[in-house]
Structure 1
Amino acid sequence: MRKKVVTIGNSAGITISPAELHALGLAPGDTVEVTVRAGVLEARAVSRYEDTSLPDLIAVINAARTRP
């Protein structure tokens, strides 16, 4: 699928449709890791908990267990 590069302020971007976001498991505001290799742009979804410490992860899990 071809996309156009668009200007966003002083930067540039490529739009992603809602269907493409859903297929990637992404939503507006999510973080992606962007890499360029041999002229290919790669974007990888980053877990919101990727840099979270183990004690903080346990707290998140416990909080989720106690929700009604």
Structure 2
Amino acid sequence: MGAALFDRLPLEIQETIASFLSYHELAACARVSQAWNTVFNPILWRHVEIPKNTDRNEARHNAWSSRLEE
């Protein structure tokens, strides 16, 4: 499927296709064009993983974690 054909699909179909892609595939798709970035970039940010606190400043880590949960 070419980029022009994908661009003509309804947004719901584009998002369904995107749901089958890995994080790295989504990132690659977001770099194809501005139109694709509009579709794929928000999906990339839906599930951000924060690693366990490797920083010695636990208060700062907890503050960031609590802000993200809001």
- What TM bracket, shorter-length normalisation? under 0.3
- TM-score normalised by length of structure 2: 0.26
- Structure with bigger helix share is 2
Kindly indicate whether structure 1 or structure 2 has the higher relative contact order, using CA contacts under 8 Å at least 6 residues apart: 2
- TM-score normalised by length of structure 1: 0.27
